[in-house]
Every structure is written in structure tokens, then in C-alpha cells.
Amino acid sequence: MMASSYNAKEEDGHHSGSSSHGGPGAMKSKKPDNTAFKQQRLPAWQPILTAGTVLPAFFVIGLIFIPIGIGLFVTSNNIKEFEIDYTGVEVDSPCYNCAKNFSWNSTSSCLCSVNFTLDQPFESNVYMYYGLSNFYQNHRRYVKSRDDSQLNGVESNLRQPSKECEPYRTSEGLPIAPCGAIANSLFNDTLTLYYYPQNGTKLPVPLTKKGIAWWTDKHVKFRNPGGSANLSIAFQGTAKPVNWRNPVYQLDEDPENNGFINEDFIVWMRTAALPTFRKLYRIIQKKPNTTPTLSSGKYVLEITYNYPVLSFDGRKRMILSTISWMGGKNPFLGIAYITVGSICFFLGVVLLIIHHKYDTRSNSAEIPN
């Protein structure tokens, strides 16, 4: 009797305090706790997507996106970019002979030079890229064909490169350094730029090769093997990649830019995402005075033509570009923002019409509120 009256009391508590936690669960009965969670009564926001409720979202998105898009578009348009194709496919192009006769097996370089004129002066830093088309650096087997540990200077991997490097792992019994297909196909054209001012002299444009690779790549990911300063000793007992003319320790004279930490090499090793890509080649530093980095006028691009691309219908380009906060010239993002913003706005209007014509029920349902 006592027990039952006690229980009855307890239940009262349960009911009155329904929103609070379900009281002491010490009751012997199997009655489930009356908590919001267990009873699936958690406080909740229940948005209903109707024309009326989503209207503002569309307008807001439209109003935000269109200005952003305009901003991006303007920014992109302010970027100056110059591109020149020097592949030499056409008969009249200066590098036609080089392109035609050249293959990986050639021992001597072929030289050619391309003239061009810049109509507008380039302000601030100018970035010089080489561009390749139709080059599938993202091919699955190509991407894999490298040994990061070797490139990081790990001695054991220098001597015994990873199996991923096959079939560019060993050459005549010696381990290849750097091994793999990526390294093997290193871009080895040399580009130099000369300016012809009005007076007719030929001025070389100073090209900086430092700082073209990611800082982390240059200082963390890529490291020369061994502690010794002499790279030729460090790389002793390794073979150069098959396609290379020189071993890896002769990529550059500067010891800070030689071996695995050669920046051109590092840049090449960062495989491009798409078959048409550009890679940073040199930087033309902004001059301290007010003169433009590259003033308008005649230029000549001298090319040491080493890299055959005709076998895969590839194209080679040289690109000069300034950059903004959003990178190189690309009007797409701006256009995309403007388009999406406009579509949103338009749909917003459509919804407004729908809302006015059909969505009266939810409106009226809300009036008694």
C-alpha cells in the first residue's frame, strides 16, 4: 500500500516536470524516462521550404554574388598576360627545324629564337611560365613514378629506390637518382629573354630563378643526400635518368640550387592537375624605380630547344604574366559569380510570383499567429 501511494506521487512528478529531466529513475517499473531526447521531443527548428520561406535566400545570394563577381572580373581583367607558342609546328615558325629534328636521343641542343612585341608595359613582378599542352602529367602511372624518400635525401632510398620507380629505377645496374618517370621527363628547355630598346641594343632581361618553388618543397620535402657539400660525391654510385644529359648534381652551378633542391626540378616534380598546364619558370623582379618591369617594346625569346613534344601533339608556350591576389588571369570565377548571382535573382523573382499566386495558404495559416 505504501509502495503504491509512493509510486503515484512519483508519477505526478514525472508528468508535471515533463520538460525537465525525467526525475530519479530509481523507480522499479520499466517505465521509460520521460526525457526530451528519449521521447524524441528535442527542441527543434523545422524549416519548411516553400516559395515564401526560401525567397529571401535567393535574393540575398543574388545580391551578394553579383558584386563579388564584378569585383573578381575587374581584378582578373587588370592582370596583364602575354603568351607565345614556340613549339614549332608550323613551317614558318622559328623553331620548326628544332622541333622537327629533335628527339630525346639528340645529344646536341638546338637553338632558336622567337621575336615578340609587348604592347603594354608590365608593372610589378612579372612571372614567366612555360606551358605545356597535351602533356598528361596526371597520368596515374606517371604520378606514382617517383620516390619521395629518395628526393628527401634518404640514403637508403638513394641506393635502393622504391619499386614505384620501375622501370626508371635502375640503369645499367646503378640506381637512378632521381628515379621515376616524372624526373626522367624533366622539362629541359632553357628560355632567355632579351629586350630590344629603341636604340637597338640587346638587353638581357634579368630572370630570377629563386623562389619559384614552394618554400616547403625546397626546404622540407626535397633534400640532397649526405651532409657533404660536394654533391658529386653524394651522388656517387647513382646513374642519371635516362633522358637526362647531365647528372642531377650538375643541374645548376649554384650549390643552393643544385641536386634535388634545384627549383626547376622541384617545380617539375609537382605534377600538374590537368593536361594543359603552365609551370613557373622565372620571376622578373619589379624594378626599384618607377619604370615598369617590362616596358612595352620588342623582345626576343631565345630557346635552347631540348624538349620534344611533337610525339604527343604537345605544345610549348612561354607565358609572361603579372598576378593579383587571386592568382593569374582567369575571368571565369568572376563570370561564374555573376551568372550564379543572376540566376538566383531570377529564380527569386520566379518564386516571388509563385508565392503571390499560389502560396496563400501558408500565409493565411500564419495570420492567426
Nearest distance, CB of residue 343 and another protein, angstroms: 7
Distance CA 168, CA 161 (A): 10
Near another protein in 158-187, by CB under 8 A: 162-164, 166-168, 181, 184-185
Distance CA 288, CA 285 (A): 9
- Binding mask 40-59 vs another protein (x if CB under 8 A, - otherwise)? x-xxxxxxxxxxxxx--xx-
- Output the nine-digit C-alpha cell for 305: 630547344
Q: Is the peptide bond before 178 cis (omega within 30 degrees of 0)?
A: yes
- Number of CB atoms found within 10 A of residue 150's CB: 27
Decide: is 327 part of the binding site for another protein (CB under 8 A): yes
Q: What is the dihedral of CA 357, 363, 365, 368, to 10 degrees?
A: -140
Q: How many CA atoms lie within 13 A of 85 on its CB side?
A: 12
- Binding mask 249-288 vs another protein (x if CB under 8 A, - otherwise)? ---------------------xxxxxxxxxxx--------
Which residue from 20, 25, 38, 63 is in contact with another protein, where contact means CB under 8 A? 38
- Number of CB atoms found within 10 A of residue 283's CB: 18
Decide: is 367 part of the binding site for another protein (CB under 8 A): yes
Nearest distance, CB of residue 200 and another protein, angstroms: 35
- Nearer CB in complex with another protein: 94/314: 314
Which residue from 97, 171, 192, 243 is in contact with another protein, where contact means CB under 8 A? 243
Near another protein in 101-160, by CB under 8 A: 104, 129, 131, 135-149, 151-152, 154
- Nearer CB in complex with another protein: 202/245: 245
Nearest distance, CB of residue 64 and another protein, angstroms: 9
Decide: is 34 part of the binding site for another protein (CB under 8 A): yes
Nearest distance, CB of residue 116 and another protein, angstroms: 19
Decide: is 368 part of the binding site for another protein (CB under 8 A): yes
Quickly list DSSP for 102-155: --TT--S-EEEEEEEEESSPBPS-EEEEEEEES--TT-HHHHH---HHHHTT-H
